[in-house]
Structure 1
Amino acid sequence: MSISDALHRLTSDQGLPSADRLPRWLSPVPRWLENLGLRLVPAIIIINVLGTLFGFWYYGFHPIPQTDPLITWQFASEPVIMWPFVPDSPLATLFIALAFFTWWRGKTNEYLAALAFFGCWKLGLWTPYVLTVFADAFLSVTWTPLYLFLFISHLGMVIEAFVLHRIADFPIRAVGVALIWYGFNDIVDYLIPIVGDPHHTAIPVADTTTVGNSTALHLAAAGAITLTFIATFFALSTRIYKIKARS
């Protein structure tokens, strides 16, 4: 088999879920790239699991190095009861790893797919947003290659999110669960922490730091809440267009 034949097989849609006719703004990833991702889904799952493990380490779960406390950094500063709402990006990559895994095993879980879409869209853009808004502060405490890795890898999560329409239909009940989870996350992260201080991902400036006519907390919150609203709109729009395409 020639290289061109192999590439054609990897990027063709033969044997893969058909792609509903969605507008480009709901399906911006080239079809060949969607197909390639679905063909290589075991590797995509592994990459996301590794990203999840790194993410938990980044937030402060440190089984290695053994010279570190097991719980350090942001986890150490948060009440244990609020830990589920702290590692936002690692949970998003875990959701999408599980969503792709269930599809690969023969049955899509719509709830996991919706949670994965919301999470990878939202955190995939929110992280580059705060890395840009607070670039000077981040670069003063973050190794430049790590800064670039965080920026680029999170944008990759957005690409993954826009492949999920191939394996999921985004029923209203699943979108509702995702909205409740990420909406509540926004509440405890920025508005009403319930226990302790706001639980958003730590940024290297104080929440009360003035940035322009706003504060660091308000800027971070504006990005997160806006992206949650847009995720809801995108998911429900995908649902509507899928129904129209099949009617």
Structure 2
Amino acid sequence: MKAAVLPWTRDLLLNRTILWLLFIVNALGTVYGYIWYGSQMEYTVETQSAWQVIFVPDSPTASLFFTLSLLFLLFPRLVKPSLAGIVFRSLIEALGVVTSIKYGIWAVTMIMAGGAQGDHLQWEHYMLMVSHLGMAIEAMLFVRYMVFGRFMAFIALVWLLVNDTVDYTFFVFPWLPDVLENDLNAIQSFTMGLSVFSLLVTWLLIAFRKVKV
């Protein structure tokens, strides 16, 4: 069964039309995400230390890393086959996968948690749930065709934990619905736990990786 499914999956996911479509969708989503976080980024620069703004737009930055990863699949020779080139590509891919899994799941969970506690969900919330769920799914699908290994995935976890620490130390985490303000401690624990979970999922996917680009 695997021998029949994997070639079909590979042909579909690595089809250049599909890759270009995903690249365009992710690129547009990245731009939209930074616009979405625009107000919070401006507020952070005006009221807190400017360096903290780097840690505000979590999902768009994850999407940016994954968009670059798709570019590597479209143009395998974009990065020179040197040690520095391989390290750079592996780091970007690891960040793209681990952060996309984490923030894809996180955003959907926060929206659903807010809705469960009485936050009025509008069409934008459902659009965000679909798009963020797509982030997590596509990241897991493409691990098979990327070059990064477990160590780079661990480095991505380190970045996530640094991000989490800054978010909840300086309160630059994504703005939450008012109904979730009393759950901040639980959200912090969930967020950091989800970072580790995302690494474990990535490691598991790497362990079952059969096809290398």
The alignment's TM-score, normalised by the length of structure 2, stands at 0.79
Which residue of structure 1 aligns with residue 96 of structure 2?
A: 116
- Gap change, CA 1:202 and 1:101, over 3 Å in 2: same
Which residue of structure 2 aligns with residue 179 of structure 1?
A: 157
CA distance in 2 between partners of 1:51 and 1:84 (Å): 18
CA distance in 2 between partners of 1:117 and 1:77 (Å): 29
CA distance in 2 between partners of 1:167 and 1:111 (Å): 15
Which residue of structure 1 aligns with residue 42 of structure 2?
A: 76
Contact 2:144/2:209 (8 A) holds in 1: no
What displacement does 1:167 show? 1.6
Deviations 1:169-194 (A, max 9, x none): 4323311320111110111112x33x
CA RMSD of aligned residues (A): 2.7
Secondary structure class of the residue paired with 2:159: helix
User: How does 1:38-49 map onto structure 2 within 5 Å?
Assistant: 38-39=14-15, 40-49=18-27
Mind listing any 5+ residue stretches in structure 1 that lack a counterpart?
1-12, 20-30, 61-72, 211-215
The one-letter code matched in structure 1 to 2:198 is A
Which residue of structure 2 aligns with residue 97 of structure 1?
A: 67
2:139 is equivalent to residue 161 of structure 1? yes
CA distance in 2 between partners of 1:187 and 1:222 (Å): 11
Contact 2:144/2:205 (8 A) holds in 1: no
- Gap change, CA 1:34 and 1:227, over 3 Å in 2: farther
What displacement does 1:35 show? 4.2
Which residue of structure 2 aligns with residue 236 of structure 1?
A: 203
Contact 1:113/1:164 (8 A) holds in 2: no
Which residue of structure 2 aligns with residue 67 of structure 1?
A: none
- Gap change, CA 1:105 and 1:221, over 3 Å in 2: same
Query: Between Structure 1 and Structure 2, which shows a larger proportion of helix residues?
Result: 2
Instruction: Tell me which of 13, 31, 34 is aligned to 1:56.
Output: 34
Secondary structure class of the residue paired with 2:14: helix
Secondary structure class of the residue paired with 1:163: helix
Number of aligned residues:
192
What displacement does 1:206 show? 7.5
Which residue of structure 2 aligns with residue 219 of structure 1?
A: 186
Which residue of structure 2 aligns with residue 200 of structure 1?
A: 173
- Gap change, CA 1:121 and 1:103, over 3 Å in 2: same
**Structure 1 runs, 4 residues or longer, greater than 2 Å off:** 31-38, 136-139, 235-243
Of all paired residues, the percent bearing the same amino acid is 26
Contact 1:170/1:235 (8 A) holds in 2: no
The structure having more radius of gyration, on CA atoms, is 1
